[in-house]
Chain A
């Protein structure tokens, strides 16, 4: 255990054990004193009691005839609906305790939501006092919460101690701090590991790590909970570390009492690296060469070789094309003609080939203006959202989801319920794009994309205010008169903007490790924290330090020991699927499967409308019609879950195995036909190769390894009756292509 880690652990345990009150002596406790304020006292009670939650009166159309703004984003409107909409019904200033608001909340009259609090609660007393004072709105601005804290920030449970009280502190714009534990709402990301009750008491469950969260006003904040097993025979085995990635993963594993699996063997590493970095299997020659190499640096050398290959460029061009929803069509109004798609594809390919810094790669697209046919990167504005008309709201939401991992579209209608984003953030961000326009070019397929700086900004849904353009979370509006996209590009790539670098780092990590540090990849929010924050920060930091060098970060990942671990679990990490203590079994991407089959059989499958020799990873959907409808473009790719590019969601790519995939491989045309017409076995037979030799070739071509002695003897028995007949070999070939070992990266 490192000294630094010991100290960290000791500190967190200490904080965890301290009576929380001692830390918080400065915080003002809630009191019954004074006339309650609508915004400061009444609104938080409606929130805490759940009145304005999405399933109750906070739903878009309200509930049982009474509507409140979801989680209270519109206090003015809520005041109106409670007191003025139907005068005399919901609050009764003449006889306050007869107010429907109170009778409903205490369950004294029929209420779908039942009893939310009792008459002797502080909530009841405060609401009653407010109505007794005339149920008035606040005369002027009231202090707004500017930040909340949940203490302790980390809770570690081991042994007999199973419960702990948390506390929520809110800091207000007037500088005051208030204990709002009684007004907050709590939830756990994994109640099996830790539950948190409505008063903020945490109870440990099964071994694991998760987060519990408190919400107050528009803020959400989490504390980590670690529940350790009771056994005390855990001993860290001090495995070697290649770089900081290993160190940071190990620190996490130690904290959770996990041990990493062993290093994988060379053949497994070779196959894994080829599939991840080149989207292909190693050839027999590449296999022989690597296995024969005795250098201790041969794994690193292989990574470097693959990073420099054209195949690496193809893999990342394909990944970007998929994320950017690159598709070619033949329908004029969407401006997504095949010619435009090819221009975009070629441009992306060139940037990846040149290893252009990713920040510049994105900035160039953001600030692009010009023809969709000749200026590839402008197609960000035709393809991210496929529609006959540029729609700033959809575009802004999709842009944010892809490039920052943040889903801001919730904030179109209400403040984000589980993150920091407000409607102000959303509409300010939309305003960056409200001037984007298309005009018809010199031929029907052509559109000119430009930004009309005179276009008015977006307007706030609640009060119709014009919202000047702002970057996400920006305090200042972007200066008017200049193209706001330049400011957006500068902000996105700024070293201080964690949103962009963390998002890219997470996506690059996920491609190689089979899982993001944040999952889903495009749902980064306060309430969905990374499973290893220091690691995500370090990877993002490396991107920034390396000037957003894609290959440099991939090299860091692939040369780490963590990347090279075996998938074989040990006694401690069988249950781990988020801390990278062993390699994940991953079904190959749809395009990689198709290419791998082609590679193993030596048959070029080809794609209509694309030149011969086009690999599946180079293929993007082309149609003669509109690109508004999602399409994978190819039945095999669709079956194996390749993104249909119907939306920006990372979930468009479906990694899970399905029955139809199995059936397709067993009885569909792809393998049946290609094994039959594959010339490999006849060639080997003609060259008088021995049966064992042929079987070994088939194994290496498909599984990138030699058969085990037991496997070999079994196979030989199959061919013994007719060792010069291709039929039995074809059956073996077929079986190998149908094996899960072939279909998985392991």
Chain B
């Protein structure tokens, strides 16, 4: 296992020179030293363990590890190394296999942890041949460009509920866990899921200011439109019925009802132009409906398990969808054509969030990982291996639930996450840890107030938390 280090350290060290090149070294101590090279560090390891079958004399699977050029070229199955991405490199997979029958070198104990770590760093740093070589990993500039979506700011005063009709609040034994939470991008307004209705809060006063009816059941998804005028509520009754509705924030009126599903909707989003609603659930299919006439525009059938998260990019061009088996796909939002498949999560994905400039997609899941993807080519620019791993009690063993449950970006590029360690964490735009808040119950959802000055979370006991936070860098200017 590579030593775990604070993600913040990783990012702060990764900021190099002109532009922000996210070179990701997860070991602070290793990153301090000179880069790992084939000649100095890796060839001796290969010589000791691999040359017998993959050397000058014999090249099993046409793979020769004794020459740098041949290493890069790969073997009969193609390249065995992807510069910058150990998790995508066949060679790295082969030496870290759990199954002794599939592991390299064969019929031997696994390589020593230090050696595996050197190989990992070498790949991550871009397969340098010698100290004078350049990294083969592509340099990428993913710095946040604020104001990219300021254009969608509506004209006039931000939409707040006006005279909305009182709705009947059904009596419940205890509050519904907060299975959904959303904040208006422009108004001090939060929408919170409750049994058969949506509670509305003023995020400045933290007071409830009304409710919207959702007699269909539990609203498992809440999303504001980019202009803040509409609220998408989707959900239903598990294994009975599911639906998405569009509610007018100012009047409380229903503007549209979309879908007629046989199970509750578990994930949904409204396209920025308000033309499309994408939704999914236990049926493993993402359905994209027109909001104009409720017709089904297209279906996305590539997922192999329940759909757990759906998010349109802020510019509306792309649609990200995720499932319970860890799969994430990026689609062309207009046609439903597949663009990219992002395969890195090994367990259920729980959250997808786009950064406002459309260039970065964040995902989090039950494998504990929070991954920041370059949305252009699907490259995992940064993997936070376990940002929500709980503290282990002494004398205990085994895997603790460490899933990331919710991720949201603020307009200023900062992001927040909640997870199974019962903490809500605030990160700066480059992934540096800023703050952490404790919750007594599982914090199921997080959101930022429109001005980025309040962090909001909902938990499994039905409580809504408001924490004041300093405004982000963009707002300070």
Contacts and interface: CB of A to CB of B under 8 A. Distances in A.
B176 A80 contact: no
Contacts of B335: none
Given A100-B238, A110-B239, A389-B100, A94 B175 contact: yes
B175 A464 contact: no
Contact of B107 (A86, A132, A389, A460): A389
A140 to B, nearest CB: 14
A389 B177 CA distance: 51
B421 to A, nearest CB: 13
A463 B238 CA distance: 31
A110 B175 CA distance: 27
Given A87-B179, A88-B179, A463-B396, A333 B107 contact: yes
Interface string B384-409: 00000000000011110100000000
28 contacts: A65-B282, A65-B306, A84-B401, A87-B177, A87-B179, A87-B442, A88-B218, A92-B218, A94-B172, A94-B173, A94-B194, A95-B172, A95-B173, A95-B195, A103-B240, A109-B238, A109-B240, A110-B239, A134-B174, A333-B107, A388-B107, A389-B100, A459-B397, A460-B398, A464-B397, A464-B399, A465-B398, A466-B397
A202 B389 CA distance: 52
A465 B399 CA distance: 10
B220 interface: yes
A525 interface: no
A80 B399 CA distance: 13
B180 to A, nearest CB: 9
Nearest to A131: B173
Given A84-B401, A459-B397, A466-B397, A93 B179 contact: no
A100 to B, nearest CB: 5
B128 to A, nearest CB: 36
Interface in A53-100: 65, 80, 84, 86-90, 92-96, 98, 100
Nearest to A64: B282
A657 to B, nearest CB: 39
Nearest to B235: A88
A111 B263 CA distance: 12
Interface string B177-200: 101000000000000001100000
A96 B172 CA distance: 9
Contacts of A459: 397
Interface in A639-683: none
A54 to B, nearest CB: 22
A87 B100 contact: no
A96 to B, nearest CB: 6
Nearest to A391: B100
B174 A93 contact: yes
B398 A88 contact: no
B115 to A, nearest CB: 20
A462 B174 contact: no
B237 interface: yes
Nearest to B175: A94
B460 interface: yes
A462 B398 contact: yes
A171 to B, nearest CB: 29
Contacts of B396: 463
Q: Which 10 A-B pairs have the closest CB atoms?
A: A463-B398, A464-B398, A94-B172, A94-B176, A464-B397, A109-B239, A88-B179, A94-B195, A100-B238, A465-B397
A104 interface: yes
B454 interface: no
Identify whether the interface residues of A are mostly helix, strand, loop, or mixed.
Answer: loop
Interface of B: 100, 107, 170, 172-177, 179, 194-195, 218, 220, 237-240, 264, 266, 282, 305-306, 324, 396-399, 401, 442, 444, 460, 462
Contacts of B100: 389
Contacts of B460: 84, 87
Contacts of A96: 173
Given A94-B176, A95-B195, A103-B239, 4 more contacts: A88-B177, A88-B218, A94-B194, A466-B397
A466 B282 CA distance: 37
Contacts of B401: 80, 84
Contact of A92 (B107, B176, B239, B324): B176
Contacts of A84: 401, 442, 460
B211 to A, nearest CB: 15
B107 A463 contact: no
Nearest to A84: B442
Contacts of B324: 65
Contact of A93 (B173, B239, B442): B173
Chain B CB within 10 Å, residue with most, of A94, A134, A462, A464: A94
A195 B276 CA distance: 60
A89 B238 contact: yes
Contacts of B220: 88
A100 B264 CA distance: 11
B403 to A, nearest CB: 9
Nearest to B101: A389
Interface in A194-227: none
| Interface core residue of B100, B176, B238, B397 (most chain A CB under 10 Å) | B238
B173 A132 contact: yes
Nearest to B396: A463
B240 to A, nearest CB: 6
Q: Which of A93, A333, A388 gathers most chain B CB within 10 Å?
A: A93
A132 B237 CA distance: 19
A100 B442 CA distance: 20
Contacts of A103: 238-240
B382 to A, nearest CB: 27
Contacts of A94: 172-177, 194-195, 462
A388 B220 CA distance: 53
A98 B107 CA distance: 55
B268 to A, nearest CB: 15
B216 to A, nearest CB: 13
A466 B107 CA distance: 24
A197 to B, nearest CB: 30
Contacts of B397: 459-460, 463-466
B214 to A, nearest CB: 13
Contacts of A110: 239
B402 to A, nearest CB: 12
Given A87-B179, A464-B397, A464-B399, A104 B174 contact: no
